[in-house]
Amino acid sequence: MKEYTTQKIRNITLIGHGGSGKTTLTEGILVASKAINRRGKVEEGTTVTDFDDEEIRRHISLSTGIAPIEWKGFKINILDTPGYTDFIGEVKSALRVADLALSIVDAAAGVEVGTELNWMYAKEESVPCAVLINKMDRENANFDKALTSLQEAFDAQFLPLMLPIGAQAEFKGIVDVLAKKAYIGSKGDASKVPADLADRVEELYTNIVEAAVESDEELMEKYFADEPLTPDEISNGLRKVIVEGSYVPVLVAAGGNDNVSLNALLDMLVQIAPAPGERSFMAEGAQGEEEFEVSDVSPLSLLVFKTMADPYVGKLTYFRVYGGQVNSGDTLYNNRAEQDERLGQLYVMRGKEQLSVETLHAGDIGAVSKMSEALTGDTLCSKDRKLKIRGPLFPSPLYSVSVSPKTKADTAKMGSTLTRMCEEDPTLHWHQESTTRETILSGMGDAHVDTAVRRMHGRFGVDVETNIPKVPYKETVTAVGNAQYRHKKQSGGAGQFAEVHMRLEPLPRDAGFEYVWEVFGGRISSSFMPSIEKGIKGVMVQGVLAGCPIVDLKVAVYDGKEHPVDSKDIAFQIAGREGFKQAFRDAKPVLLEPMYIFTITVPNEYAGAVMSDLNTRRARVQGMDQAATKSIVTALAPLAEMQQYAINLRAITQARGIYSMEFSHYDVLPAHLAQQVIEQMKTEE
């Protein structure tokens, strides 16, 4: 692939609801631009951007596929993102490096839940937006109905730059409103606008020109003086108002099967999509946060936005160049790892195909293999001018499973494989839960976690079993408890003797453990103080009621006895352990359960059903807010009742609800439920 300068590059991320046609459109664009000769199909697993085994099996995109094309002297980097909400991390990564978010809307379905969510993510990243009303040849396709659904769903000024000629089986081609030309038939030669669309085209053209001149006083003066504007002046003005977010252009296509509309679409994207140099970037340096132009003369800076683990090729690191230009073999400084990293051969990735390049200019997207330290979100820069660019902002996981290896061989490889999976996808997390002694894998939903587990098997040959995780309960006391325990053992030879008197007192939540020595008069030598504490702590790890860790209490040892010959470390450990158990049972022990704050956003029509469901889950609603047509419910709920909530909410709201969760505190588990947990724990021992 040729070398392209910043002004000749366009970075466009395709976003939208699952099934809106992003991957099929990408495939059509690749054929139209002659990057490939044969159009692949999602259902056959032959597309360029869906090449992963799991993507082929499920017939959906699970990760962002990159498809650079060359079009009339420009390079367009297409980033094809997943539409399924579990794979939000891929969308957020792709939006972080985009200069235009092209929202794909099904002409028959209009705005769907994925449209709304991805639109919100684009706005969070301040990425300019455009809309493509797609699948105009589909049954029930209706351009005006889809446009109305956009106007009702979003607070934006939509500006149609293209119109369809016909719809459904009668779809014949498109009108380029900007050029006032129609493209009809298989050849797609430019022709006059059909008579029935002429008035609408004139009206829309006037709207486009008025929008374009808003960005520039000189253009506005020229327009009001009735001087003609050149196509370049209009395009430049449009790009400015699109970057500002004042207007959202609306384009048209018929899936990926109509080269005529795709050719016109690519012409339009080159005109209206911002070049990287038309948007600045922020980076933190020695002088604090600074604003830079995206250009070859700005300080060298690359942002790693995606990594892929491959057992054969090694790790592939995807990056965007923000400042300067980078060459194969360059040595860059990794700000997070605080060490140099040498780049090998630079690539431009087209799906899984690696196209070698020697130089990438500011604004371009590339990849390199076998970088040892670089992770998603890292900034690579010059050691002489250290900069840090903010990486993608990933949400916290919402759905967890416990994973256990199936064989001894899997045991040896499971930890390192989980680490590699989580490096590749930062919305996956794993940890060892000390409370339940389980390995926990967390993601954005059941499909996300299931995909990760399948990839562990497919890529790395590691098989694991999954289960619903145990709730990490804890034990504590609610009253003062006392106990005296004498340990005496005589079995011929040296005996064992220790007597300990102790008192337990509850402490405030999260206060931890406090150990106090109140023995006076030398009734127990202070040298045995650590022995008693060791015995107590041994029980605190294992629990007394249900095998859960004990927290938030004070233990005071206030009396006891020792023997001049038989008292020793082990004797006082045992006395401390057993005395603690007795005192614990005397101090009105309870189980504590983890409580989380849930923020649930749903369309208004589902708010009642969500509230009713929360009431069945021991949740306490903290408040309810409105945001346009959405209800935002905040509730405090126990984790035990919400472990499958990602699945439940999807069912209640027809997949139109989203939520986030954040740990709040531990609270006392009601006695009748605590008894059930204790009995269950005993049966599992």
Taking the C-alpha atoms of residue 590 and residue 675, their distance in angstroms, rounded to an integer, is: 10
Q: What is the pLDDT of residue 576?
A: 96
For position 189, what pLDDT does the model report?
A: 66
- The mean pLDDT value of the chain amounts to 93
Tens of pLDDT, residue by residue over 425-436, are 999 999 999 888
Between residues 212 and 684, the one the model is more confident about: 212
The pair of structure tokens assigned to 185 is: 């038939």
- What three-state secondary structure class fits 616? coil
Query: Which of 95-109, 162-176, 300-314 shows the lowest mean pLDDT across its residues?
Result: 300-314
**What is the pLDDT averaged over residues 161-190?**
87
Given a cut of 80, is residue 491 above it in pLDDT?
A: no
DSSP one-letter string for 633-660: EEEEEEHHHHTTHHHHHHHHHTT--EEE
Q: What is the pLDDT of residue 665?
A: 95
Interval 387-411 mean pLDDT: 94
The whole-angstrom separation of Cα 73 and Cα 107 is: 31
**For residue 555, is pLDDT > 80?**
yes
Closest among 654, 603, 628, 606 to 152, alpha carbons compared: 628
> Can you read off the two tokens belonging to residue 236?
């430049």
| Residue 675, burial from CB neighbour count under 10 angstroms (0-12, 13-18, 19+) | middle
| Residue 311: per-residue pLDDT | 62
Average pLDDT over residues 110-138: 94
DSSP reduced 3-state for 61: coil
Beta strands in 468-566 (DSSP E): 474-477, 481-489, 496-506, 513-517, 553-561
pLDDT digits (tens, 9 = 90+) for 612-669: 999 999 999 999 998 777 899 999 999 999 999 999 999 999 888 889 999 999 999 9
| CA dist., res. 202 & res. 194, Å (int) | 12
- Give the confidence band of 459 by pLDDT, cuts at 50, 70, 90: confident
User: For 170, which DSSP code?
Assistant: G
Distance CA 64, CA 68 (A): 13
Strand ranges for 253-369 from DSSP E: 281-285, 288-292, 301-310, 314-323, 326-327, 331-334, 339-342, 346-350, 353-357, 359-360, 365-369
For the chain, what percentages of helix, strand and coil (3-state, to nearest 5) are there?
35, 35, 35
pLDDT at 564 over 90: no
Phi-psi region of 148 (alpha: psi -120 to 50; beta: other; left: phi over 0): alpha
Domains of the chain: 6-195+245-278 (3.40.50.300), 282-381 (2.40.30.10), 399-470 (3.30.70.870), 475-587 (3.30.230.10), 592-684 (3.30.70.240)
User: Judging by beta carbons within 10 Å of its beta carbon (0-12, 13-18, 19+), is residue 34 exposed, middle or buried?
Assistant: exposed
DSSP state at residue 334: E
Please give the pLDDT value at position 255.
Answer: 80
Long-range CB pairs of 454-462 (<8 Å, 24+ gap) are: 454/54, 455/52, 455/53, 455/54, 455/421, 456/417, 456/418, 456/421, 458/53, 458/54, 459/309, 459/310, 459/311, 460/311, 460/413, 460/417, 460/420, 461/413, 462/405, 462/410, 462/413, 462/414, 462/417
Arithmetic mean of pLDDT, 348-377: 94
Residues 203-241 pLDDT 10s: 999 999 999 999 888 888 888 888 888 888 999 999 999
In angstroms, what CA-CA distances link 585 with 94, 510, 674?
Answer: 56, 21, 15
Cα dihedral sign for 240, 243, 245, 251?
positive
Between CA 253 and CA 263 the distance in angstroms is: 10
What average pLDDT score do residues 477-485 get? 96
Of all residues in the chain, the percent with pLDDT exceeding 70 is 98
Which residues lie below 8 Å from residue 81, measured CB to CB, with a gap of 6+? Answer: 13, 14, 15, 22, 61, 64, 87, 90, 91, 94, 118
pLDDT tens across 51-81, in order?
A: 988 999 999 999 999 999 999 999 999 999 9
pLDDT at 314 over 80: no
The pTM of this model reads 0.88
Q: Which helix (H) or strand (E) holds 201?
A: helix 195-213
Euclidean distance between CA atoms 151 and 36, whole angstroms: 36
- pLDDT-derived band at 196 (thresholds 50, 70, 90) equals very high
SS (H, E, C) 551-602: CCEEEEEEEEECCCCCCCHHHHHHHHHHHHHHHHHHCCEEEEEEEEEEEEEE
**What would the mean pLDDT of 160-168 be, rounded to a whole number?**
94
d(CA 47, CA 630): 36
Q: Which two tokens stand for residue 378?
A: 């890292």
Q: Are 29 and 104 in contact (CB under 8 A)?
A: no
pLDDT reported for residue 623: 93
Say whether pLDDT at 30 is over 70: yes
Contacts of 353 (CB under 8 A, 6+ apart): 48
Q: Length of the chain, please?
A: 685
**pLDDT at res. 187:** 62
